[in-house]
Each structure stands twice: as structure tokens, then as C-alpha cells.
Amino acid sequence: MDEETLQQVEQILGYQFSDRTILANALTHASSVENRLLSNERLEFLGDAILALVICKVLFERFDDYLEGNLTKIKSMLVSRGTCARLSNEIGLSRHLKVGKGMAASRALKGSLAAGVLEAVIAAVYLDGGYDAAAKFILKCFGPLIDRADAEHSQGNYKSVLQQHAQEHFNAAPIYILLDEKGPDHDKCFELGVVLADRHFQSAWGSNKKEAEQKAAFNALVELGVIDNPPADDQQDD
């Protein structure tokens, strides 16, 4: 990998490497090398753990009145593949990933590969400069998202999270549609679905319409890659 590319990536990261071979490795996808041990896969594994550690530490210190389940919801949204891919594309990191000829036009370059190179670069910064350097870069990328992780997010208000995501990325508002209802008047349950930009997401049942809307919004956020799917016990109603 040429020095000019490495310098450009250093400018993006706001970090100058002592050993640029680590950075070059982080920017090398398995499709471009014969031996996968020469790719960024191992760095991606390490970077994923470092990202989670830094985010968890920040959330633990900043939201000292949140319980484990609430912290987990925010963390899951922040470190999801969808969030990592979006940030990687926004800062221009993904376009510097070295891939094989067959991958050059792949949609994954903007998705899973973009997320992977961000995680690999986090590991590279960590190995070259230590925890503080990696944390500084992570907070540079994720800081605005952490700042928006307010009480609505922590209480599982998935409708609010989806509304914000829809406005930012689709310039549209999600529409909730009542699909079915069952049971007697005193004990009804409701099925609702979400439509966003003509896309229909997995519906959900709830003991009332508000609960069903929250669960449907959660399903949409998972499908969009905004959050990971935490254990069912962690989901909360509005």
C-alpha cells in the first residue's frame, strides 16, 4: 500500500503511526491477499472488543443512574455493524480499504466491509499507540452519537430512536399500521407494523397499541442495522 494512501488515512484518524505496516494491514481485506492471516480479519476481531470496552466505559461513567439493561441498549445501538459502517463511510475510511477485483463493486463495501475496516483501524491504533490513542479516535467518531444517547434511548423508546434515524437517513417519518387485533374488548392484543420509505418491516404484537408500536419500531431498528438484537428480557415498553 502506497505511502500517500497511508498518510491520507492518518489524517482521517487524527493519529500518526510509528509503524505504518500495522495500518496497512488494517486496510487490507482478505479478498486481496492469498493468505487470510495477512488481512485485517484478526485486527477486526480485536478492534470490535476495544470499541466495546471504550464505549462501555464511557457509558458507565456518564450515565451513572442507568441500570445494566439500559446501558446495554445504548451500547448495542452504538457498536452495531450498521452504526460502524455509517461512520466508516462518513469519515471516508471505507474507500481506502484494499479489496480484491471481485469485491470492487460489492455493496458490502458500504456495509459489512466498511464496518470491519473501522474496527480493524481501531485495533491498529491501539497496538501502535495504546488504549488512550484508540479511545481518543473512538470518541472522535462516536462522541456525537453518545451525546444523543439521552433518557429516551435508555428507557427503550424505540419509536423515538426510529423517528430520529428516519429523519436523518430517509428524510421521512415512520408510519405505524394496525394489521390485526384479537381477543375480547377487556383483553385485546394488537398487531402493528412499520412502513418507512415504502419499506415494510416485521410486525409485532402487544397488549396495547403503544406496546405493539414500540416492539414494531424495535424490529425495524434491528432490520436497519441501527441496533443489535438484545435478549428479549431487556426490551422495555413505553
Among residues 4, 10, 48, 198, which one is catalytic? 48
CA distance 43 to 143: 22
Tell me if residue 48 is catalytic: yes
For 75, 139, 234, the CA distances from 67, given in Å and listed in that order, are 12, 22, 11
Which residues partner with 199 through β-bridges? 196
CA angle 226, 170, 121 (to 5 degrees): 45
CA distance 129 to 17: 8
98 phi, psi to nearest 5 deg: -85, 115
191 phi, psi to nearest 5 deg: -110, 125
3-state SS, residue 58: helix
CB atoms inside a 10 Å sphere around CB 107: 8
Tell me if residue 187 is catalytic: no
88: cell is 466508516
86: cell is 455509517
CA distance 182 to 170: 33
Q: What is the DSSP letter of 34?
A: S
Distance of CA 31 to the CA centre of its chain: 23
201 phi, psi to nearest 5 deg: -110, 165
Among residues 34, 44, 119, 198, which one is catalytic? 119
Q: Which residues are catalytic?
A: 48, 119
